[in-house]
Amino acid sequence: MSGNSKHKGSISEIEKRDGRIVDFDQQKITDAIHKALVAVSVGNGKRAEEISNRVVEILEKRFEDNIPSVEDIQDIVIEVLEEEGLEKVAEGYSEYRVKKIEIRDLKEELGIEDEPKLTVNAWEVLKKRYLLRNEKGEIIESPSELFQRVADAVSKVDEDYGMDPDESFREFFEVMSKLEFLPNSPTLFNANAPLGQLSACFVLPVRDSLESIFTAVKNTALIEQTGGGVGFDFSEIRPEGDVVKSTMGVASGPVSFMRVFDTVTDVIKAGGKRRGAMMGVLRADHPDIEKFIEAKSSEEDFLNNFNISVSVTDDFMEAVEKDEKHELINPRTDSVVEEVDARDVWEKITKNAWRTGDPGVIFLDEINRHNPTPEVGEINATNPCGEVPLLPNEACNLGSINVSKMVKKVDGEVEIDWEKLERTVKIAVHFLDNVIDANEYNIPEIEKMVKGNRKVGLGVMGWAELLIRLGIPYDSEKAVSLADEMMEFISKKAREKSVELGRERGSFPNFEKSVWSENYEAMRNATVTSIAPTGSISIIAGCSSSIEPLFSIAFMRNVLEGDKLFEVNPWFERLAKDKGFYSAELMKKIARTGSIQEMEEIPEDVRRIFVTSLDIDPEWHVKMQAVFQKHVDNAVSKTINLPKDASVEDVGDLYKLAWELNCKGITIYRYGSKKEQVLTIGEGEGELEFTSAESEYSGGAMSGICPVCG
């Protein structure tokens, strides 16, 4: 397909949309046609070249004495596709063309230059999920207006503290519109909108009574209705078979009550935007722990709205190491009911995680060693994706900095722009603190706890692209060292801003009961950092999820309306063109597996930088999580993705490594261990020819997308 890359006919120049005259390059037409053909499964390089040649023939006849514009060429492409009987391809090409115009207008509006282009899928996600609609379902705001709406709602809080909100509005709007920082999805959904609930993450108490259980069910419904996700510790519920004195009956146990929460979530589409999400936690010493571990092991659709995690103590982990007994304790009587082999419980955890991805593990002692308000209460549960351990009736506001944009060029070399990063961190902490006051709370107990501790969680996204831009392999000590340096810097600057806000506005009410009162005179927020799975906001920002590696170099995207788009990582595509090894056929070849590691036609140094999640030894995933955790107040949500042939022993080793490296929890996913997953590796033929990803997947857990954290 390289033969027509520089056309030698009468057409030598074209007019760009901005009026510039540039050299005509037929290869660009061929590549665009090829992608359109591939998207509807009728494509090959030869067919694309034939259609491209026909387009050029028509151009030469119609523009013998004139210079054609980009629009002229695209009109003829559609004309030829229709002549060839490829109406579906023509329709897709035409729709794609319109969307690209919309995106170009948006980029101009946001002042985004010299960056990888916003994807069509990002535009679709914004329109489908985030932009406000009227009663007829018609979109009534642009992306720019979305960011204005959010910036306006959040900056107004400054008036309550005697400050002028105009400067904050400009700062908040700038970092969002340039896609340098984005808050969690509920803030984007609901700011200055009817629901008004801006938090992503909640933990609700579940005590050992029907009143408490069904109060939690009701409050879960209210939270999910507004777009939030909820975590629970079910460890206080008496075990199955235990006595119920009030009715002289027999208890059904915590797993049976989890089904009630699951059913309620099934019928409530979170915030009218997406499904709800929950985290169910049970202590390893609960008598029903084996039933809990195996709750999601069948092929039945059971507890599909739950992530589940076993909370383990250091004593339990040491009992596993020493092959000792482990006590199971009835929470109703606080008495030992049985002694079991700790390793037997551990092996059931790792075997079921290997089979289905559940359960994960939460390291309870490590979490509470870093509990900022131990006098207020003990932490026993996390939000749905595990990045925020919370007290009962507590919530947290999250946001993420796109670190791939925190760079500058010095003498032609890319390096981190530490000044820009500091400024963005401090704007983001100010923003997230304001969200606490801008929020509308529909449960009084939550409002009291949230405003008592004022926890926020600032994290990062685009980590994989940052490493690529710096030329650093993800699975390297250099990458781990940079993560250590960068997250320490972010944490330090976030804390500085919280201290500044504490002096100006007052510390969080529980400050004197917190660990911070020993060394600080003021602190606005009990926590300031958290690494969330950024999901949809990564799609909007055009970057990889959170601290995850790339999931694929080239792939087919299943977009929201059921269409398909052929996507190539923009940094790889740019580098391939710069180094002269780009071709549409090569991109198609890469898309079959998503990986380039076995492709000798690609330079070795490029292959070393562009590694995907399944290319990387799983231990590097854990090391990366652990080094970020060193400098994070809350926790790190990261999925340790494993190849299909990983063993149960591999899972156990990784879980132990996470404990040894002081992670607060761990989740693994072995490829293919669930019947449905959001990333499917191509098999080279038929419907499964290409690697495919769902519309809002940007990396991390292949079993599903967190619908609330990002």
Q: Which of 49, 171, 307, 385 is catalytic?
A: 385
Amino acid identity for residue 510 in this structure: N
Residues whose CB is less than 8 angstroms from the CB of residue 522 and which lie 6 or more positions away in sequence, other chains included: 499, 502, 503, 506, 507, 511
Residue 445: both structure tokens together: 């107990």
**In degrees rounded to 5, what are phi and psi of residue 58?**
-65, -40
Amino acid identity for residue 530 in this structure: S
Q: Which residues of 440-451 are buried (b: 16+ CB within 10 A; e: fewer)?
A: ebebeebbebbe
| Bridge partner residues of 400 (DSSP) | 182, 459
- SS3 at position 41: coil
In angstroms, how far is CA 261 from the centroid of its own chain?
Answer: 24
Q: Nearest-CA neighbor of 399 among 649, 616, 688, 176?
A: 176
> Is residue 310 within 8 Å of 280, Cβ to Cβ?
no
The region that residue 192 occupies, defined by phi over 0 for left and psi between -120 and 50 for alpha, beta otherwise, is left
| Known catalytic membership, residue 383 | yes
Q: Which of 383, 402, 439, 634 is catalytic?
A: 383
Q: What is the 3-state secondary structure (H, E, C) of 579-598?
A: HCCCCHHHHHHHHHHCCCCC
Which residue reads 């060693």 in tokens? 369
In angstroms, how far is CA 487 from the centroid of its own chain?
Answer: 18
Angle subtended at Cα 666 by Cα 660 and Cα 668, rounded to the nearest 5 degrees: 120
DSSP assignment of 127-142 equals IIIIS-B-TTS-B---
Q: Which DSSP state fits 10?
A: S
Is the preceding peptide bond at 165 cis, omega within 30 degrees of 0?
no
Sheet with 554-558, side-by-side order of all strands:
564-568, 554-558, 692-694, 679-680
Which residue reads 């601290």 in tokens? 547
The CA distance from 438 to 593, in Å, is: 46
The CA distance from 312 to 319, in Å, is: 11
> Is residue 317 within 8 Å of 343, Cβ to Cβ?
no
**In degrees rounded to 5, what are phi and psi of residue 565?**
-125, 140
Pairing relationship of beta strands 229-233 and 394-402 according to DSSP bridges: unpaired
Pairing relationship of beta strands 407-410 and 413-416 according to DSSP bridges: antiparallel
Neighbours of 659 (CB within 10 A): 23
Name the CA radius of gyration of the chain, rounded: 27
Neighbours of 434 (CB within 10 A): 25
The CA distance from 413 to 392, in Å, is: 48
| Known catalytic membership, residue 385 | yes
> Is residue 204 within 8 Å of 565, Cβ to Cβ?
no
Q: Which of 294, 387, 422, 465 is catalytic?
A: 387
The region that residue 334 occupies, defined by phi over 0 for left and psi between -120 and 50 for alpha, beta otherwise, is left
How far CA 92 is from CA of 46, 96, 634, 699, in Å, comes to: 20, 6, 44, 26
Residues whose CB is less than 8 angstroms from the CB of residue 219 and which lie 6 or more positions away in sequence, other chains included: 204, 230, 443
The residues assigned a catalytic role are: 383, 385, 387
